[in-house]
């Protein structure tokens, strides 16, 4: 007499097959997700590289313009760190008011920054004020004359950064202007190559930060 087929063996084989298909689908899903993440990361990295090249090109063009304008004594360019430095003589002495030549130079900088921000470029602009560590001996209260009132270095550094930012955002809308961020650090971040009392620490730095 022939043995009857064991239905439990058939069900077991079927379940094994189903589990194998499920595991295969799971592995494929994980691999697809991993591939997508790697691809996304590569795209972000490529976009960052492209953006850095655009910022470098912008700074190169600005440096050439500033040199032709005769304002190179007012502004330094650090291409490797994507930074523009407005020197002490950019402002009137002991004041947050920009000199006429500095105002013209900043107008040129503004036009380039505005162009990139309006095109939705992927970076923020930080405008940061700095001073030396010599204390303010007499509080300044004449806003009309000095474009600010201050009694310490932090307030003066913030005011100078603010005045520079005003020029830079003058043609931007509110959303674009929010990407130009201002801060004053007083004498807390002196230049590495100079003592804290050196007047070259009196500066405003415009830093371009590329975002992922």
Confidence class for position 181, pLDDT limits 50, 70, 90: very high
What pLDDT shows up at residue 200? 93
- Phi, psi (5° rounding) for residue 177? -65, -30
What pLDDT shows up at residue 29? 74
**Cα–Cα–Cα angle for 111, 114, 117, rounded to 5 degrees:** 155
Q: Determine the Cα–Cα distance for residues 194 and 200; give it in Å rounded to an integer.
A: 8
pLDDT per residue as tens digits for the range 139-150? 999 999 999 999
As a whole number, mean pLDDT of residues 120-127 equals: 82
- Cα dihedral sign, 103-171-115-43: positive
What pLDDT shows up at residue 44? 57
What pLDDT shows up at residue 86? 93
Most confidently modeled of 13-17, 47-51, 177-181?
Answer: 177-181
pTM for the whole thing?
Answer: 0.75
Q: Determine the Cα–Cα distance for residues 94 and 60; give it in Å rounded to an integer.
A: 31
As a whole number, mean pLDDT of residues 169-194 equals: 92
Would the pLDDT of 179 be above 60? yes
pLDDT per residue as tens digits for the range 48-106? 677 778 888 888 988 888 888 888 888 999 998 999 999 989 999 899 999 998 898 88
N-terminal to C-terminal alpha carbon distance within the chain: 75
Structure tokens at 172: 């931007």
Structure tokens at 184: 């004053």
- In 3D, which of 207, 131, 127, 128 has the Cα closest to residue 168? 127
Residues sharing a CB contact under 8 Å with residue 149, sequence separation 6 or more, in sequence order: 139, 140, 141, 142, 143, 155
What pLDDT shows up at residue 168? 93
Q: What are the residue ranges spanned by the domains of the chain?
A: 45-210
β-pairing verdict for 180-184 and 123-130: parallel
| CATH number, domain 45-210, options 3.10.28.10, 3.10.20.740, 3.30.1330.60, 1.50.40.10 | 3.30.1330.60
What pLDDT shows up at residue 141? 95
As a whole number, mean pLDDT of residues 150-172 equals: 94
Cβ atoms 156, 131 nearer than 8 A: yes
Q: Lowest mean pLDDT of 35-44, 57-66, 169-178, 187-196, name the range.
A: 35-44
Q: Determine the Cα–Cα distance for residues 129 and 125; give it in Å rounded to an integer.
A: 13
As a whole number, mean pLDDT of residues 131-137 equals: 93
What pLDDT shows up at residue 153? 95
Torsion angle in degrees (nearest 10) through CA of 86, 104, 208, 65:
-100
């Amino acid at each position: 007499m022939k043995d009857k087929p064991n239905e439990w063996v058939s069900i077991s084989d079927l379940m094994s097959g189903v589990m194998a298909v499920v595991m295969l689908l799971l592995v494929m899903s994980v691999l697809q997700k991993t591939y997508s993440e790697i691809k996304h990361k590569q795209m972000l990295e490529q976009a960052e590289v492209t953006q850095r090249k655009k910022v470098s090109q912008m700074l190169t063009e600005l440096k050439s313009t500033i040199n032709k304008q005769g304002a190179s004594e007012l502004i330094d360019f650090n291409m490797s760190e994507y930074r523009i430095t407005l020197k002490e003589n950019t402002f009137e002495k002991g004041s947050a008011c920009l000199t006429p030549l500095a105002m013209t130079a900043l107008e040129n900088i503004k036009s380039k920054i505005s162009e990139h921000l309006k095109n939705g470029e992927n970076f923020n602009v930080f405008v940061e004020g700095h001073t030396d560590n010599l204390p303010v001996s007499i509080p300044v209260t004449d806003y009309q004359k000095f474009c600010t009132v201050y009694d310490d270095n932090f307030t003066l550094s913030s005011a100078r950064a603010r005045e520079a930012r005003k020029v830079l955002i003058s043609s931007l809308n509110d959303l674009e202007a929010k990407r130009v961020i201002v801060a004053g650090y007083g004498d807390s971040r002196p230049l590495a190559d100079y003592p804290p009392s050196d007047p070259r620490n009196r500066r405003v730095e415009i830093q371009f930060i590329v975002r992922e």
